[in-house]
Amino acid sequence: MKKWSWLFLFLLTGVLLVGCGAEENAKDLSAGGKAEETATEAAKNSTEPGPALQLLENEKVGEYLADAKGMTLYYFAKDTPNTTNCSDDCLKNWPAFYGENVEVPEGYNKEDFGTITRGDTGEKQTTYKGFPLYYFVNDKATGDVNGQGVKEVWFIVNSETTFSQ
């Protein structure tokens, strides 16, 4: 008989906890969605880290910077600090990378990463030392570095990258 009493008590506790949670959700909804708006505003103003950048390594190019999914990041040698010179067809082949408040790997200074607003699309793009970062459409899987050296103006990014101006 004791065995059944404990089971009943356990189930009753679970039902009560679920009921209390539903009551709180109902209060949030009756407030006209204000809780949802507040959460959205908090997320916009958050200083919590965003997606984590990571270092990968390849025999051909050594260490290089990749996004959280392992997709290689590149810079365009024809860009200038805080200005992109890749648009239209170029942008189709070299999509802009943007990550809000990115977490940087060891060996990188978070202050070297920033954001620009592209003049052509109005979209945000992450920069490294002022230079916009891109993906390459022919990189299909984690670890692909097919864009390295393309037309001698597209290069991977690593902690030793220097930009000529």
The predicted-structure confidence for 52-71, as pLDDT tens digits, reads as follows 999 999 998 999 999 999 99
Q: Does residue 64 share a domain with residue 37?
A: no
pLDDT of 22: 44
**Residue 83 identity:** T
Residues 35 and 66 in one domain: no
Residues 6+ apart with CB under 8 A from 44: none
Distance CA 50, CA 40 (A): 15
Q: Which domain holds residue 20?
A: 2-44
Say whether both 58 and 37 belong to one domain: no
Whether 163 is covered by a domain: the verdict is no
Within a domain: residue 161? no
Encode pLDDT of 144-162 as tens digits.
999 999 999 999 998 888 8
- The answer to the question of residue 17 being in a domain is yes
Q: What is the structure's pLDDT at 5?
A: 55
pLDDT at 162: 85
**Dihedral sign computed on CA atoms, order 38, 53, 147, 140:** negative
Name residues of the chain where pLDDT drops below 70: 1-49, 165
Is 49 part of a structural domain of the chain? no
The answer to whether residues 79 and 98 belong to one domain is yes
Measured between alpha carbons, how far is 136 from 118 in angstroms, rounded to an integer? 18
Same domain assignment for residues 136 and 115: yes
Domain count, the chain: 2
pTM above 0.75, yes or no: no
Q: Are residues 25 and 90 in the same domain?
A: no
Q: Which residue, 78, 56, 76, is CA-closest to 66? A: 56
- 162 domain residue, yes or no: no
Whether residues 94 and 147 share a domain: the answer is: yes
